[in-house]
Homo-oligomer: A and B are copies of this chain.
Amino acid sequence: MIDASTLTRLRSIVGASNYFDGPEDKITYSYDGTPLLNQLPDAILRPQSPAEIAQVLALANQERFAVVPRGSGSGLSGGSVPTENSVVLLTNHWTRVLEIDERNLTAWVEPGVLTAAFQAQVEGKGLFYPPDPGSAAISTLAGNVAENAGGLRGLKYGVTKNYVLGMEVVLPSGDIVLLGGKNVKDVAGYNLKDFLIGSEGTLGVFTKLLLKLIPKPETSRTMLAFYPKLSDAAETVSDIIAAKISPAALEFLDNMTIRCVEEYAHLGLPTDLEALLLIEVDGHHAVVEEEAALIQQLCRKHRAREVKVAADAQEAMRLRSARKVAFSALARVRPTTILEDATVPRSEVAPMLERIQQISKKHGLTFGNFGHAGDGNLHPTCLTDERDTAEIHRAEQAFEEIFEEAVKMGGTITGEHGTGLSKRRFLEKLTPPPAVEMMRRIKESIDPNSVLNPGKIFSLKPRCEGPLPKSREVIEKFLSQGAFT
């Protein structure tokens, strides 16, 4: 627990109206989008300037408490779950687009801007912000940058990091620094900017972001292809890449996911398919027409039962929603949904899906699988119930085997969501030890007192290495202590 006098000083830094420590506040901010992880913060702060964040961090260094930055709290690996002796630092109230520079194709934004809102705003100017964090309509730009999240448009446009040109960041020391610049190539010194992206709030708090924009593609074509056999879908993906097409989206759903999506959204999907591919191409109209025709031909060659092509933007949105609602649709089936994101080289997608099925069957679990077929980023999703301790244990076993398999195939334990709390044990187990040691040393060199989001990504000695807190226990203990009495 942070002592009362320190909490009083924190309250005076941000002001009484931006300081929260009631039991309902603590419970609200005790979790993010990750199941099974809770921890109560000692207070929640809504800073009004980077200078206030700097003061909070200076005090944290002095009094040795932890500061946990938080966007929309939509993360899926516990990156913004509080640690012991921590305050949560909100950033989602900073929602302004500060500048759209049409000459240099850049935009300065505040960290709490919603990705979807920003996309709409730049598209109004004939520009385009490609990263598309899928279904997460509430995800903030800073949250995506911190996680380095991808999205449906991953294959053609690459992930978020390629679209972050710079940032204003408060370092663990409390220094406020501007890194990067407007579309300028920059190789001066070490690449701190790219290093901070994806550091999950452990090395700095982003207070402004400079994003790269591109011209809006002239047109696009969206298709859904229905496959009785999964292997045929996989071969279609290989052939599309071999034909030197880079679709904007190349996504798949397995049978379980298709059935859940259909039950949820009534899109008219056949529920007997082994797989469905969502394919989208965009760009110059001549290229789009040519590529769309070739893709349909390849789908049929590989025995797709049907290929639906959207006639207009509205139908495209409808087809795309088959993929966008996948997570929500699966989440309805059972009380607890564990969505993961193992990634394998594209050539290993079909073998990996087969292995996931075997592992799931072996442990008597229900899995839905969907994800980015084009770049090998799979989202194996376990439908379970956190009240069933035995089943949760089997699910943890299954994911461990899935991650081991992914790494064995040349893949990784996370392609988009980050390591956070929930995957640090896999990182420590499956990453070469000298690389983990290097990460730990860098963290210690920049944040010697472990004040900024400590214990995320990897454990830190001597603090932050105990077992992870379990969801219900934390809340129940808190309530049993008479929090609301």
A442–B446 CB distance below 8 A: yes
With both beta carbons as reference points, the residue of chain B lying nearest to A286 in the complex is identified as B286
B435–A179 CB distance below 8 A: yes
Chain A, residues 69-113, CB within 8 Å of chain B (1/0): the string is 000000000000000000000000000000001111100000000
B198–A187 CB distance below 8 A: yes
Q: Does A51 contact B (CB under 8 A)?
A: no
Neighbouring B residues of A387 by C-beta, 8 Å? none
Chain A, residues 230-259, CB within 8 Å of chain B (1/0): the string is 000000001001101110000000000000
B188–A195 CB distance below 8 A: no
Neighbouring B residues of A418 by C-beta, 8 Å? 187
B343–A103 CB distance below 8 A: no
A410 to B103, CA, bound (A): 14
Neighbouring B residues of A241 by C-beta, 8 Å? 103, 105
For the complex formed, measure the closest distance between the CB of A453 and the CB atoms of chain B, giving whole angstroms: 13
Picked from B104, B175, B198, B283, the residue with its CB within 8 Å of the CB of A190 is B198
Q: Does A185 contact B (CB under 8 A)?
A: yes
A347–B103 CB distance below 8 A: yes
For the complex formed, measure the closest distance between the CB of A351 and the CB atoms of chain B, giving whole angstroms: 13
Neighbouring B residues of A159 by C-beta, 8 Å? 185, 187
B345–A181 CB distance below 8 A: yes
For the complex formed, measure the closest distance between the CB of A107 and the CB atoms of chain B, giving whole angstroms: 13
Q: Does A444 contact B (CB under 8 A)?
A: yes
Chain A, residues 421-447, CB within 8 Å of chain B (1/0): the string is 001000100011011101101111110
A439–B189 CB distance below 8 A: yes
Of the stretches A146-154, A325-333, A356-364, A471-479, the one at the interface is A146-154
With both beta carbons as reference points, the residue of chain B lying nearest to A372 in the complex is identified as B185
A431–B189 CB distance below 8 A: yes
A165 to B186, CA, bound (A): 19
Q: Does A171 contact B (CB under 8 A)?
A: yes
A410 to B419, CA, bound (A): 34
B438–A183 CB distance below 8 A: no
User: Chain A residues in contact with chain B, CB under 8 A?
Assistant: 101-105, 126, 147-150, 154, 158-159, 161-162, 171, 173, 175, 177-179, 181-192, 194-195, 197-199, 214-216, 238, 241-242, 244-246, 283-284, 286-287, 290, 343-347, 372, 375-377, 410-419, 423, 427, 431-432, 434-436, 438-439, 441-446, 457-458
